[in-house]
Amino acid sequence: MLIESISGVRGTVPDSLNNEVVALYAGAFHQFCPKGDIVVGRDSRSSGIHFLTEIVETLMASGRTVNQCGIVPTPTLQYVVDDTEAVGGIIVTASHNPAEWNGLKFFGADGCYLNSSQVKKLMQLKSVDFPELSDGEGKHIQMNDAIDRHITRTCDVSWIDLDAIRQRKFKVAVDAVNGAAAVALPELLDRLGCEVVAINCEPTGEFTRGTEPLPENLSDLSQLVQQENCHVGFATDPDADRLAVIDEKGKPVGEEYTLVLALDGFLSTIDSSETVVTNLSTTMAVDKVAERYGAQVTRSAVGEINVVEMMKKTGASIGGEGNGGVILKEVHLGRDSLVAGASILHRLAQTDSNLSEVMNKLPKFEIVKYKVSIERIDGDTLFQKISDSFDSALIDERDGLKLTWNDRWIHVRRSNTEPIMRIYTEASSEKEAQELAEKVKLIIQS
């Protein structure tokens, strides 16, 4: 099955996604974009090289100049699109999906994901025969410095103290799942004066662990941190827009706290009041940290483009999502594992404390995430039923239903691509969060 969503298209290879399908979407993107260069790249999946070649050939046949970056993190391609005169970008990746999957993500001239109306227009164009431009064959330019440019920009962030990071001489364990960060993340850390101990850092596309950087997939990295006496461990997903963190004891801090740590480092360094943007399903630890520094938190619907559009609207400098995604406007408006890693090292360099000690000073909450299969259920009726079952909550209906109290919340939303309802709950303890989730699950199934 080929899945189209606001973040692009993905499917299994070759039954759902093949050269013919890829050419169709590349042609549609050519029609969608104004005249100008298009930047393309891929993650490390073995099918990616064939699809990238198909995209380049399709765009060149249409008269486009194509800047080809090769294997790069998704945020690297986003940065390059934004930093050049390019009118758009395509990266071949299926993000955290297994190796037999692949997909395409599309970006506008600002390096940001297309919004819902733009995606709708793009999907309509794929069924239209596209004309070749009259100015003949396009050009293919190999862009070999994309990663270096991205690293340099990350190191130039105004509030990140490079000298302090370098003086600490951090020892960092890295697990890039043999994906797109396999070269970029170790190179960034080397530039920051860190000693790097790496596993799964060959961009082969052979994913030797679960692709999502979740605690259950990071046991090898946790063990490496302890064996090598590292200060911290970093793990990415295959396209490197998400970062998970392991403390010096080998304990995963949880993807929710990647943004919290980066935010703590940012807000403790700058002198101005700030707006922070995150989505409705991200930990309320973001709110508590923001309160410490007099910052305001604005929440958006789930999805990177929704966070980014809210950042544009509010003028926020920092934002992100609770899946390990940190967005820093000073670099580019997209989730970025390199930015996240540098921000967290900056936070550690501000103190002589270990990461576990820094974590102990942060507000602690526990999130539980469920999926419930649904068939022929009216969402509005269900949301009303859930809302009626709980008292005294602040109600938000922008993205499903969110019920918020001072120390806990529930968020229920329908999946855009599967017949499931997603349940997110957060509370001060895992037990309380589980109880909230179970209650919602029973309501849905009753």
Domain that holds residue 49: 3-144
Please write the tens of the pLDDT for every residue from 315-331: 999 999 999 999 999 99
Last residue of a domain, one of 109, 144, 179: 144
Considering the domain architecture, whether residues 105 and 161 belong to the same structural domain is answered as: no
Catalytic position from the list 95, 300, 337, 343: 95
DSSP 8-state code for residue 170? -
Considering the domain architecture, whether residues 200 and 343 belong to the same structural domain is answered as: yes
Considering the domain architecture, whether residues 305 and 400 belong to the same structural domain is answered as: no
The total domain count for the chain is 3
Considering the domain architecture, whether residues 340 and 205 belong to the same structural domain is answered as: yes
Amino acid at 43: D
Average pLDDT (387-403) is 96
Burial class (CB in 10 A: 0-12, 13-18, 19+), 253: buried
Q: Is the pLDDT of residue 3 over 60?
A: yes
Residue 417 has a pLDDT of 73
Considering the domain architecture, whether residues 335 and 427 belong to the same structural domain is answered as: no
Q: Is the pLDDT of residue 430 over 80?
A: yes
Confidence of residue 131 (pLDDT cuts 50, 70, 90): low
* CATH code for the domain in which residue 59 is found: 3.40.120.10
Confidence of residue 135 (pLDDT cuts 50, 70, 90): low
Residue 378 has a pLDDT of 74
281 is catalytic: no
Residue 136 has a pLDDT of 67
Name which residue leads in pLDDT, 134 or 139: 139
Model pTM score: 0.96
Mean pLDDT over each residue of the chain, to the nearest integer: 96
% pLDDT > 70, the chain = 98
Last residue of a domain, one of 144, 166, 191: 144
Confidence of residue 118 (pLDDT cuts 50, 70, 90): very high
Last residue of a domain, one of 116, 144, 172: 144
Considering the domain architecture, whether residues 380 and 290 belong to the same structural domain is answered as: no
Please write the tens of the pLDDT for every residue from 261-318: 999 999 999 977 899 999 999 999 999 999 999 999 999 999 999 999 999 999 999 9
- Angle (CA) 119-7-373 rounded to 5° is 110
Return all residues near 111 (Cβ < 8 A) that are at least 6 apart: 77, 78, 79, 80, 81, 82, 83, 89, 332, 333, 334
HSE, CB side, 13 Å, CA atoms: give it for residue 29.
Answer: 33
Please write the tens of the pLDDT for every residue from 335-378: 999 999 999 999 999 999 999 999 999 999 999 999 998 877 77
Considering the domain architecture, whether residues 9 and 43 belong to the same structural domain is answered as: yes
* CATH code for the domain in which residue 372 is found: 3.30.310.50
Residue 419 has a pLDDT of 83
Q: Is the pLDDT of residue 137 over 90?
A: no
Q: Give yes or no for a cis peptide into 14 (omega within 30° of 0).
A: yes
Considering the domain architecture, whether residues 172 and 268 belong to the same structural domain is answered as: yes
The Cα 295–Cα 334 span in angstroms is 21
Considering the domain architecture, whether residues 418 and 434 belong to the same structural domain is answered as: yes
Tokens encoding 418: 């599967």
Amino acid at 282: T
Confidence of residue 446 (pLDDT cuts 50, 70, 90): confident
Please write the tens of the pLDDT for every residue from 241-268: 999 999 999 999 999 999 999 999 999 9
Confidence of residue 418 (pLDDT cuts 50, 70, 90): confident
Tokens encoding 221: 């990295």
Please write the tens of the pLDDT for every residue from 52-79: 999 999 999 999 999 999 999 999 999 9
How remote is the C-alpha of 91 from its chain's centroid?
14
Residue 366 has a pLDDT of 97
Amino acid at 194: C
The Cα 444–Cα 446 span in angstroms is 6
Considering the domain architecture, whether residues 137 and 187 belong to the same structural domain is answered as: no
Residue 312 has a pLDDT of 98
Residue 363 has a pLDDT of 97
Residue 130 has a pLDDT of 63
Considering the domain architecture, whether residues 356 and 212 belong to the same structural domain is answered as: yes
Average pLDDT (187-206) is 99
Considering the domain architecture, whether residues 161 and 138 belong to the same structural domain is answered as: no
Residue 132 has a pLDDT of 56
Residue 379 has a pLDDT of 74
Q: Is the pLDDT of residue 400 over 80?
A: yes
- State the residue for tokens 């990647």: 258
Residue 255 has a pLDDT of 95
% pLDDT > 90, the chain = 92
Evaluate whether 106 touches 89 at the Cβ level (below 8 Å): yes
